[in-house]
Amino acid sequence: MSDAKQIIEALGIKAKAASRNMRMIETRIKDEALKIAAGLFRSEMTEILAANALDMKAADENNLEAALKDRLALNPERVEAMAQGLEEIAALADPVGAISDLVYRPSGIQVGHMRVPLGVIGIIYESRPNVTADAAALCLKSGNAAILRGGSEAIHSNRAIAIILRRALSEAGVPEDAVQLIDQTDRALVGALLAAEDYVDVIIPRGGKSLVARVSADAKVPVIKHLDGICHVYIDAAADADMAVNIALNAKTHRYGVCNAMETLLVHETSACLLPRIVADLQAKGVEVRGCEKTRIACDGLQVNVASDEDWATEYLAPVLSIRVVASLDAAMDHIAQYSSSHTETIVTADYAAGQRFLREVDSASVMWNASTRFADGFEYGLGAEIGISTDRLHVRGPVGLEGLTTQKWIVLGHGEVRS
């Protein structure tokens, strides 16, 4: 057995044992652990910042690029935000143990569902050290044990944060092995974690596309993952003009680098008269517009570049938008079926039948009617916090909160019934 496999097995055995205990820990104890950890983040801030300084020094030495360094850096405000994040998770309702749909069956037994933790969750993430606290807290509150694998460039910060979390667990009477950090940077450990079917129930990768793709290609353990966010707004023939313009602008320009930003605008040809106004507003905000032939004709006099087939399949994550004029609702849905990453799509329409069809027929994790795609978010949906957004089909789709980190078992309450 390789060293990596042995290290992961040792962590896995401890995580499984902790997870059995975690399943039945009372809500107030889990909340207490989160609040103690928040307090320790504040009282031990000097320690955390000192550890982060080591990572920042190494980042300088390794000429890490500026964007990565910004993600890596901690300061008092960011540590305070981590502490508050834990307190917010402590304030959320505990999904574990909830019983639903308990009904009597003709045999006399009562059958229903009980919500239970998934078990052991592996989180593989990149440079942001705050993920260590966030992800651990969400796993803890949902009754799971977590095995955390952060980026090697954040190892000192992650260690300092994990030590505080484990101290808080221990002080609250929660098994400290409910949170374990893989604290070596050997990449073979990731491979061993992805193969640890006997110890890990699910892997959640958090990071860029290449990390997620690598994890899902290699994992033997089930993965909950987020791939692309190629989101569409479709302005229907019957769209209210001001609403359409507002939603299109918000979906594109509210933030550029986020997965729920619009990347392609589809416009019914009857509504193409709105395009000059939309394009002028977008350009005033510095957005580059690429359009189909009809878009360019509709925007005569404005600078609209030619959109290629590749544009329809691109997640820009930048101030760039592709626009296509379509002949019908069906053509819009065909375009979405072909190019969407099934993340989030919106229709803007006052037409009941068109909205109903779009809601039903578009197969994305979030399907909206007269609202900005930017609402596809755990906080906006009322989950309180999210561990990520799933673009998978099984188990959980869209924003993943505490409930997405649980599953259900069947419970049967009998009175001595046997099968005849």
**Contact positions vs a copy of itself (CB under 8 A):** 20, 23-24, 97, 103, 105, 107, 109, 111, 114, 116, 118-119, 201-202, 222, 240, 242-243, 246-247, 249-251, 254, 337, 346, 357, 359-361, 363-372, 374-376, 380-382, 392-395, 397-399, 407-419
Least Å from the CB of residue 367 to a copy of itself: 5
Alpha carbon distance 85, 258 (integer Å): 20
Please give the C-alpha separations between residue 264 and each of 208, 323, 345, in angstroms, as whole numbers.
21, 6, 10
Least Å from the CB of residue 224 to a copy of itself: 8
Least Å from the CB of residue 44 to a copy of itself: 34
For a copy of itself, give the closer residue by CB, 129 or 401: 401
β-strand pairing of 388-390 with 398-400: antiparallel
Alpha carbon distance 239, 243 (integer Å): 8
Alpha carbon distance 315, 271 (integer Å): 25
Least Å from the CB of residue 43 to a copy of itself: 33
Least Å from the CB of residue 51 to a copy of itself: 35
- Given the structure tokens 């079926």, which residue do they identify? 337
H helices of 26-75, where?
A: 27-43, 45-61, 66-72
For a copy of itself, give the closer residue by CB, 288 or 380: 380
For a copy of itself, give the closer residue by CB, 67 or 91: 91
Q: Of 274, 388, 263, which is closest to residue 320 (Cα–Cα)? A: 263
For a copy of itself, give the closer residue by CB, 73 or 120: 120
For a copy of itself, give the closer residue by CB, 81 or 109: 109
For a copy of itself, give the closer residue by CB, 180 or 372: 372
Please give the C-alpha separations between residue 162 and each of 51, 121, 156, 182, 331, in angstroms, as whole numbers.
12, 16, 10, 10, 51
User: Do 339 and 313 touch, CB atoms closer than 8 A?
Assistant: yes
Least Å from the CB of residue 324 to a copy of itself: 20
